[in-house]
């Protein structure tokens, strides 16, 4: 998560400069991660972002104000996802994939719900894993927030 926002830093921000509270790379990185975890649509992306803990929000470089990290609202996700140029998004995601795919041409990203693994809030744990298609190497496994 720490490097994902950096891949979106070259995308031109389609929003007006006035009133921008969340940098475009933060909005795009959270949206990409939410989609990778199974979120479909800006409402689900927003719900996924709201479920992020403070440590995850800090890793995404979210805005820090009044002692805590805040995430973009549903309308910000919607506005940005409608306006950003798709080819810039494609280039950013291909760059991220190229860095982590090593000798693999592609990555398989999959999530699983762990049976009988209950967290502090009484919810089941969800794991997101990334495996290389050709090498069959597991590049990462992370616990993810509940996806709506």
pLDDT digits 0-9 by tens, 20-41? 888 899 999 999 889 888 888 8
pLDDT at 30: 92
- What's the pLDDT score for residue 2? 52
Domain identity same for 92 and 139:
no
Clarify whether residues 96 and 30 are in a common domain. Answer: yes
Using CA atoms, how far apart are residues 122 and 63, in angstroms rounded to an integer? 29
Q: Looking at residue 139, what is its pLDDT?
A: 62
pLDDT of residue 147: 53
Within 10 A of 116 (CB to CB), how many other CB atoms are there?
6
Same domain as 77, residue 116: no
In the chain, the number of structural domains is 2
CB atoms within 10 A of CB 80: 20
Distances (CA, A) of 31 to 63, 101, 135: 15, 20, 28
Confidence band, pLDDT 50/70/90 cuts, at residue 15? confident
- The answer on 134 and 95 residing in a single domain is no
Residues 78, 33 share a domain:
yes
Residue 68: its pLDDT value, please?
Answer: 92
135 shares a domain with 80: no
26-35, 76-85, 107-116, 136-145: the lowest-pLDDT one: 136-145
Range of the domain at 112: 107-144
């Amino acid at each position: 998560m720490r490097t994902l926002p950096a891949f979106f830093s070259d995308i031109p921000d389609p929003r007006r400069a006035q009133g921008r509270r969340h940098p475009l790379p933060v909005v795009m990185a959270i949206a990409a991660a939410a989609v990778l975890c199974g979120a479909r649509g800006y409402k689900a992306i927003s719900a996924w972002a709201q479920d992020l803990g403070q440590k995850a929000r800090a890793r995404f470089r979210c805005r820090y104000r009044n002692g805590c990290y805040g995430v973009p609202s549903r309308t910000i996700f919607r506005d940005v996802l409608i306006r950003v140029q798709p080819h810039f998004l494609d280039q950013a995601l291909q760059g991220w994939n190229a860095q982590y795919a090593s000798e693999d041409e592609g990555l398989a990203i999959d999530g699983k719900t762990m049976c009988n693994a209950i967290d502090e809030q009484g919810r089941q744990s969800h794991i997101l894993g990334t495996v290389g298609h050709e090498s069959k190497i597991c590049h990462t496994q992370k616990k993810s927030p509940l996806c709506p």
